[in-house]
Each structure stands twice: as C-alpha cells, then as structure tokens.
C-alpha cells in the first residue's frame, strides 16, 4: 500500500503524466468507504431515512445524503487525478467531459429508493473510464459491509481479499435471475426456466451479484445510465462474466448521451445464448 501511494504521489507531482489506474485503486477504495460513512449517517435499516428527500424530474428520489456524498467524491477524486473529467448522477452534466480521455463516472448512492426505505442493498459506485472503457471499478455497500473492486487485467476482489468469480452453473436452466419482473418474464418466454430473485434496488449491485456468483444473470432495463453500470461492468468482466446489449456489445462510456438500452450480465460461457435471447426480446 505504501509503495502504491508513493507512486501515486510522485505521479501527481508531475501534472503532465496522468496517474496509473493501478496506483489510484487504493485511494479510490478509500474514497468510496469514506463516502459510505457519510451516507450511513442518514441511513435507517428497515425504516425511512432521516435525510431530506426530494423528487427529481421523472419522479425518482434524491436525498441530502446523495448530494453530500457527491460533493465529497468530486473533491476527493479530482484531487487524485485533476486531468480526469466528471460524470455523476447528482452533478449537472456539461460537454467538458467529452474532451477528456479519462473521466470519473460516479453514482453517489446507487439504489436511492432502497436507501430511503431502509433497504441495505444500495451502493457507492465509482469508475475511472479511459477511452470509453472502465479501467478501475469500485462498488461499496456500507450497510452490508461489502466492497467490490476491480482493475483492468488484474481481476475483481472483495474487501476480505477473496477473488470474485462468476457462478460455475453449466446451464441457464433454473438460473437465478435479477431484474425488473416484466423484463425477466420476457426472458423466460424465450424458452428457459429461471428463478426470479426479489428486487435489488441497486442496479450496480445486481451486476456485482453476477460477478460474485450469487446469481447467474442480471438485467438492466432501457435507460440505465453510465453511472449505474460502469464500475459494475468492470467488476463482472474481471470476474469472468460480461455485460452486453442484444448485439453482444459491451457498453461504451463517456458518450454524448450516457443512456443505454436493455443490458444483461452473466458468466462468459453464456454470452452467445444470452445475446440471442436478448435479440428475441427486443
């Protein structure tokens, strides 16, 4: 850790050289965990949050905890890599990020509805995206005591030091699946028996559950955004899985529109099968 942080400090002294993602990973994990501590001050397990809640355009909730975490992460992550752009659910988007090859993509609280209702399955999500693909991904679930992290080419890991791996199920028959019920029902109508899991408020955690082998497949409905999926995308990829659209393509990030169509995550062995079923659904 000391060696990594020393390397980071040396790189930050030379602002012309962007920090290596590997050097940034420990500091990003620490930032996510600090963010979780801030959010937990308003979280009430099994009860309504003590935070003030407002409705955004479209009706989705946002709380004072979301905004506090967003401010903290913007300051901390900009300090780690001043060259990187910024895209967050709770910060007004600007075209400035489009001119950056590196961008932090953040969801201060992914699964705000769950956070508000006292469901512990919400997460702080941070990705460092370089040239459209995530190179570092961190997902911290403070109410569950879980942290997932991934570095491109170096695997995905939990906070306990254990490697994260997808399920070794040989078939989609009987697969445990998470996603919006109508979407999963359409998937089942392609001719496969699945076991629908109870709703997971955080889309990022839904994808991380695939990475961790807790479920075999996870679905994202139309209009998932970069901040919902970027960190979890890398985590499932490094765990031996994928996140793809109906054409079998991995999402590309930091585009003009941060929105995506229907997506599915599953172990790599199911890539062609899942893509074909997605095409039949859409």
pLDDT confidence bin for 1, thresholds 50/70/90: very low
Q: Which of 128, 158, 188 is the last residue of a domain?
A: 158
> What is the CATH classification number for the domain harbouring 10?
3.30.540.10
The total of structural domains in the chain comes to 2
Residues 108 and 29 in one domain: yes
Question: pLDDT of 65-124, one tens digit each?
Answer: 999 999 999 999 999 999 999 999 999 999 999 999 999 999 999 999 999 999 999 999
Stretch 154-179: mean pLDDT, rounded?
A: 96
Residues 13 and 147 in one domain: yes
Q: Could you tell me what percent of the chain has a pLDDT over 90?
A: 91
Q: Which domain holds residue 211?
A: 175-281
Task: Assess if residue 201 is contained within a domain.
Answer: yes
Residues 179 and 96 in one domain: no
Count CA within 13 A, CB hemisphere, residue 279: 9
The pLDDT assigned to 108 comes to 98
Residues 186 and 136 in one domain: no
The pLDDT assigned to 8 comes to 52
The pLDDT assigned to 90 comes to 97
* Tokens encoding 280: 């039949």
Q: Check pLDDT > 80 for residue 12.
A: no
Q: Check pLDDT > 60 for residue 13.
A: no
Mean pLDDT of all residues belonging to the chain: 94
Question: pLDDT of 127-147, one tens digit each?
Answer: 999 999 999 999 999 999 999
The pLDDT assigned to 282 comes to 74
Residues 238 and 116 in one domain: no
Q: Which of 158, 183, 207 is the last residue of a domain?
A: 158
Task: Assess if residue 168 is contained within a domain.
Answer: no
C-alpha–C-alpha distance, residues 70 and 84, integer Å: 16
Stretch 38-51: mean pLDDT, rounded?
A: 98
C-alpha–C-alpha distance, residues 172 and 217, integer Å: 9
Task: Assess if residue 189 is contained within a domain.
Answer: yes
Q: Which of 123, 158, 193 is the last residue of a domain?
A: 158
Residues 29 and 132 in one domain: yes
Residues 65 and 147 in one domain: yes
Which tops the pLDDT comparison, 223 or 239?
239
Residues 245 and 149 in one domain: no
Residues 128 and 195 in one domain: no
Residues 138 and 14 in one domain: yes
Q: Check pLDDT > 70 for residue 11.
A: no
Residues 197 and 90 in one domain: no
Task: Assess if residue 135 is contained within a domain.
Answer: yes
Task: Assess if residue 53 is contained within a domain.
Answer: yes
Residues 14 and 150 in one domain: yes
> What is the CATH classification number for the domain harbouring 190?
3.40.190.80
The pLDDT assigned to 59 comes to 85
Which tops the pLDDT comparison, 16 or 266?
266
The pLDDT assigned to 24 comes to 98
Task: Assess if residue 250 is contained within a domain.
Answer: yes
pTM exceeds cut of 0.85: yes
The pLDDT assigned to 2 comes to 43
Give the phi and the psi of residue 264 in degrees, each rounded to 5. -140, 145
Range of weakest confidence among 11-25, 56-70, 193-207, 236-250:
11-25
Question: pLDDT of 78-87, one tens digit each?
Answer: 999 999 999 9
């Amino acid at each position: 850790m000391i060696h990594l942080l020393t390397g980071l400090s040396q790189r930050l002294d030379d602002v012309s050289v962007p920090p290596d993602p590997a050097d940034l990973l420990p500091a990003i994990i620490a930032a996510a965990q600090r963010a979780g501590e801030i959010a937990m001050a308003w979280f009430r397990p099994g009860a309504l949050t003590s935070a003030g809640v407002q409705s955004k355009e479209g009706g989705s909730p946002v709380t004072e905890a979301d905004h506090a975490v967003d401010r903290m992460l913007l300051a901390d992550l900009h300090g780690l890599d001043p060259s990187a752009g910024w895209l967050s659910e709770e910060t007004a988007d600007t075209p400035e990020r489009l001119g950056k090859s590196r961008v932090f993509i953040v969801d201060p609280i992914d699964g705000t509805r769950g956070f508000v209702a006292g469901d512990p399955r919400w997460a702080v999500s941070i990705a460092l995206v370089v040239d459209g693909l995530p190179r570092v991904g961190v997902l911290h679930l403070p109410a569950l005591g879980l942290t997932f992290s991934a570095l491109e080419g170096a695997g995905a890991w939990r906070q306990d030091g254990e490697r994260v791996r997808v399920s070794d199920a040989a078939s989609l028959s009987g697969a445990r699946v998470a996603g919006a019920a109508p979407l999963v029902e359409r998937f089942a109508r392609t001719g496969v028996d699945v076991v629908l899991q109870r709703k997971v408020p955080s889309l990022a955690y839904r994808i991380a559950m695939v990475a961790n082998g807790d479920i075999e497949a996870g679905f994202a409905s139309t209009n998932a955004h970069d901040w919902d999926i970027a960190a979890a995308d890398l985590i499932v990829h490094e765990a031996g899985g994928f996140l793809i659209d109906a054409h079998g393509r991995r999402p590309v990030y930091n585009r003009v529109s941060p929105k995506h169509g229907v997506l599915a995550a599953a172990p790599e062995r199911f890539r062609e099968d899942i893509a074909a079923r997605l095409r039949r659904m859409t």
